[in-house]
Amino acid sequence: MKSFIRTTVAASVLGLAGVAAHAEMTKEVGGAPMYPSKNIIENAVNSADHTTLVAAVKAAGLVETLSGEGPFTVFAPTNAAFEKLPAGTVETLLKPENKDQLTKILTCHVVAADAMSDAIKKMVADDKGAHPVKTVGGCVFTASTMDDGTIVIEDGQGNKAHVTIADVDQSNGVIHVIDSVLLPAS
């Protein structure tokens, strides 16, 4: 009987340890949990707030790249951010003949590093309030912070995007949700 009880207790403890090992610290984005064990694409496809971004990434042929090893920091515009663009812009960019322009815009939202918000804020502070952000797409944007600590990214045309959800950890980097689409200099 003692052997049975020991075995049952041991199995219960091991079972709980297994559950704890599989529990992940997630953030919710677009109504879905974002799992640190999944890559940027595996998580992004579940966000109801990023369907336009996902469609654009697919149209640009960047799924494999953003599923890769990284590390990547992605400033991920929401559907509402894309809706701020002039009428017809998204539809035009999604056409096959505009793939190069779409790819340029999307890769200007990606940095080849794993930059959590505290690191970005430190870089901004170290650079006296404005830090240049060099993107995979060849854009150089400017990061700054507001008085409340919100990170702001200014694009090549002077438009500003605010980070609304920071530090969404991914297996191949991090996502920062933003409220505007970043555009290259004209």
Confidence of residue 25 (pLDDT cuts 50, 70, 90): confident
Give 39's DSSP letter. Answer: -
Confidence of residue 8 (pLDDT cuts 50, 70, 90): very low
User: Please, what is the average pLDDT of the chain?
Assistant: 89
pLDDT at position 5: 44
Q: Tell me what the mean pLDDT of segment 85-89 comes to.
A: 94
Q: Please indicate, yes or no, if residue 94 is contained in any of the structural domains.
A: yes
Instruction: Please tell me the total count of domains within the chain.
Output: 1
H-run or E-run covering 121: helix 117-126
- Closest C-alpha to 30, from 49, 4, 3: 49
DSSP letters, 43-105, are HHTT-GGGHHHHHHHHHHT-HHHHHSS--EEEEEE-HHHHHTSPTTHHHHHTSGGGHHHHHHH
Q: Please indicate, yes or no, if residue 152 is contained in any of the structural domains.
A: yes
Q: In whole angstroms, what separates CA 90 from the centre of its chain?
A: 19
Domain that holds residue 129: 27-178
Q: Please indicate, yes or no, if residue 70 is contained in any of the structural domains.
A: yes
pLDDT in tens, 153-163: 999 999 999 99
How far apart are the C-alpha atoms of 138 and 90, rounded to whole Å?
Answer: 21
- Domain with residue 123: its CATH number is 2.30.180.10
